[in-house]
């Protein structure tokens, strides 16, 4: 008999991007198994139907909801998951900085699930056409939050890429034109600095100007690459209808 662990091991060997996904699925499966064992205990595990906190929908947050959330948080904290969104949370939870995945936990009754799918589709279309800046991640679809976290551009990564291979950081941030002025300064400064070797001109002032232009281009390129990443993220938030001061 093939177990889930056996299947995930074989599947993960099919590509370099698969092991993080397999590890996350395994973590979710372990949490679900532990939750199933807790439910199987029935009254021996305590009153899982007890309302222990308030909820936004007014039905109250039950003890089982709290225990389930804690189980999944604990298991996913050991998986390659950077961000966790859940119906039980009022915010997006950061788990492992720099991890490649984001997870959204959504629980719904079978009949309510269909209604939720329709609401999610309508909310997604409305957000694409007319972003609602008053709504936070909870009011928006959790899928929109997960999509943003998967598509967002890291300003530090953009800076590093631009320093190593200009204007690669601007291409990473989807703003290649922003890098043209800095690239022109770098190329022009380099040519001026090297002119004394190429054309025999030994003017030290010209070399100093070229060096200063190259340094200025490097600083400008790194700065605009970071701003380009921030602008890309802000545009993505607007397109998905997410509030700008909640997500990074």
Which CATH number goes with the domain that contains 16? 3.30.540.10
Percent of the chain clearing pLDDT 90 (strictly above): 19
Residue 47 reports pLDDT greater than 90: no
Q: What's the domain range around 215?
A: 109-248
Residue 190 reports pLDDT greater than 90: no
Predicted pLDDT of residue 90: 79
Q: How confident is the model at residue 226 (pLDDT cuts 50, 70, 90)?
A: very high
Predicted pLDDT of residue 167: 85
Segment 103-120 shows an average pLDDT of 57
Residues 118 and 152 in one domain: yes
Q: How confident is the model at residue 111 (pLDDT cuts 50, 70, 90)?
A: very low
What's the chain's average pLDDT?
79
Residues 95 and 130 in one domain: no
Segment 60-84 shows an average pLDDT of 88
Look at 11-20, 104-113, 116-125, 219-228 and tell me which has the smallest mean pLDDT. 116-125
Residues 31 and 129 in one domain: no
Residues 92 and 145 in one domain: no
Residues 192 and 85 in one domain: no
Residues 116 and 75 in one domain: no
Could you say which of 50, 75, 107 is where a domain stops?
107
Global confidence as pTM = 0.46
Residues 116 and 234 in one domain: yes
Give the angle subtended at the CA of 135 by the CAs of 242 and 105, to the nearest 5°.
Answer: 65
Residues 123 and 171 in one domain: yes
Predicted pLDDT of residue 131: 46
Residues 94 and 127 in one domain: no
More confident residue, 108 or 170: 170
Could you say which of 69, 85, 107 is where a domain stops?
107
Residues 38 and 97 in one domain: yes
Look at 96-100, 112-116, 161-165, 209-213 and tell me which has the smallest mean pLDDT. 112-116
Distance between CA 100 and CA 15 in Å, rounded?
A: 15
DSSP β-ladder status, 81-86 and 101-105: parallel
Could you say which of 107, 126, 141 is where a domain stops?
107
| Cα–Cα nearest to 76, from 94, 61, 88 | 94
Number of domains composing the chain: 2
Residues 95 and 184 in one domain: no
Residues 63 and 181 in one domain: no
Q: How confident is the model at residue 73 (pLDDT cuts 50, 70, 90)?
A: very high
């Amino acid at each position: 008999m093939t177990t889930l662990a056996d299947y995930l091991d074989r599947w993960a060997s099919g590509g370099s991007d698969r092991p993080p996904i397999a590890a996350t699925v395994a973590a979710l499966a372990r949490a679900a198994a532990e939750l199933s064992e807790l439910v199987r205990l029935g009254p021996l595990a305590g009153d899982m139907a007890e309302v222990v906190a308030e909820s936004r929908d007014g039905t109250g947050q039950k003890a089982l909801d709290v225990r389930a959330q804690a189980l999944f948080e604990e298991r996913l904290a050991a998986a390659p998951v950077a961000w966790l969104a859940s119906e039980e949370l009022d915010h997006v939870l950061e788990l492992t900085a720099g991890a490649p995945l984001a997870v959204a936990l959504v629980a719904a009754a079978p009949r309510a699930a269909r209604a939720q799918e329709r609401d999610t589709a309508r909310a997604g279309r409305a957000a694409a056409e007319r972003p609602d800046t008053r709504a936070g991640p909870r009011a928006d679809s959790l899928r929109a939050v997960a999509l943003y976290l998967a598509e967002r551009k890291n300003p530090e990564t953009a800076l590093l890429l631009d320093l190593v291979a200009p204007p690669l950081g601007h291409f990473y941030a989807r703003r290649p034109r922003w890098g043209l002025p800095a690239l022109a300064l770098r190329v022009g400064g380099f040519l001026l600095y090297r002119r004394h070797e190429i054309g025999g001109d030994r003017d030290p002032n010209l070399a100093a100007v070229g060096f200063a232009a190259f340094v200025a281009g490097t600083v400008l390129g790194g700065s605009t690459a970071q701003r380009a990443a921030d602008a890309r993220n802000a545009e993505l938030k607007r397109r998905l209808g997410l509030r700008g001061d909640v997500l990074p």
